Amino acid sequence: MWVLGIDTSCDDTGVGLVRNGQVVVNLVASQVALHEAYGGVVPELASREHLKALPSLTERALAEAGIGRKDLDLIAATRGPGLIGALLVGYTFAKGLAWALGRPFYAVHHLEAHIAAAWPEDLEPPFLALVASGGHTHLFEVQALGRYRLLGATRDDAAGEAFDKVARLLGLGFPGGPEIERLARETGEAIPFPIPLRDQKGYDFSFSGLKTKALQLVERGAPKAALAKGFQQAAIGHLAEVVLRAAQDTGHRVLLVAGGVAANQVLQERFRRAGLRVYFPAKGLSQDNGAMVALAAWRRHQAGLPPSPLSLGATAYWPLEEVGREGA
């Protein structure tokens, strides 16, 4: 069974093909160079680039897999959350293709797709899932496919967003996560940063204070590498402390870590030393991509969950807890 997945939730155009639960093709057309001059994603520009890239990227994916459109069995696209203009490009394209081919269509939640990218086929819930990216920082208890309990979320910036903003303060490139990780490796010294929300009773996250501290240090002329290392240690330490405390409180010993920040090697090492069974996405599946959307649709189909009506529209705001098991 072939599943086509499309993601245009933000600035990357993602087209992926999954066959019987295995990723065969995963293509991403990046817009980093376009948005770098602005220090962040410009929604209107992102939508226009998706319109340009999506048709040819889809044909290239099919060619690399050695199949045609009529070989597709399921079509899926990100319904939300995300930038509504960008979402509509991929979502409408996928629905039109599903209608033209007479194939089932799955409207996929962006965060469920990220979780699917790190979810091994043989892993049964319940477990914890941390989604940390440029637009999201959420900690969920995954009770079953389509049943998610939100334990905590960021109160301000997302983790990846904070990395981007601090990288901009340091004059580094976009996206900021890989740039800060690279710069931090250049020194053995780290400027101390306070760990946020250490006295909280819940499982929320906050990164705005770390960003403010970084700004103050930049204004004082602090060494850039030591600043980057200290910021990274605090940001990763904050994520780890909250998640590990939630694991202890809930008794869960299995953790999925997904989203762009999951590719950070310091974060991966921190969680691997924590004594939990930890799963990360395979290479290329951490950032936004179409293959993770196809994986989520495949998992739903295999579980017997129904496809989505073509009348269902895209949405910029869609809490994961509202997805349900009965389809979007």
The tens digit of pLDDT for each residue in 17-32 reads: 999 999 999 999 988 7
Contact 305, 107 (CB under 8 A): no
For the domain covering 124-279, report its CATH number. 3.30.420.40
**pLDDT reported for residue 325:** 60
DSSP state of 70: G
Nearest to 166 by CA among 207, 108, 107, 105: 207
Q: pLDDT tens, 52-73?
A: 999 999 999 999 999 999 999 9
Cβ atoms of 11 and 31 closer than 8 Å: yes
**φ and ψ of 164, to 5 deg:** -60, -45
pLDDT computed for residue 39 by the predictor = 67
Alpha carbons within 13 A on the beta-carbon side of 8: 29
Dist. CA 191–CA 225, nearest whole Å: 9
The two structure tokens encoding residue 8: 């245009």
How, if at all, do strands 137-144 and 74-80 pair? unpaired
**Predicted pLDDT at 175:** 84
Residue boundaries of the structural domains of the chain: 2-115+285-322, 124-279
Low-confidence ranges of the chain (pLDDT < 70): 39, 325-328
Q: Which residues of 140-170 are buried (b: 16+ CB within 10 A; e: fewer)?
A: bbbeebbebeebbbbeebbbbbbbbbbbbbb
Helices within 66-140 (DSSP H only): 84-101, 110-118
Radius of gyration of the chain measured on its C-alpha atoms = 20
How far apart, in whole angstroms, are the C-alpha atoms of residue 285 and residue 256? 13
Whole-number pLDDT of residue 36: 74
CA atoms within 13 A on the CB side of 5: 36
Pick the CATH number of 2-115+285-322 from 3.40.50.300, 3.40.718.10, 3.30.420.40, 3.30.43.10: 3.30.420.40
Q: Which positions ≥6 away from 156 have C-beta within 8 Å?
A: 206, 207, 208
* 3-class DSSP state of 181: helix
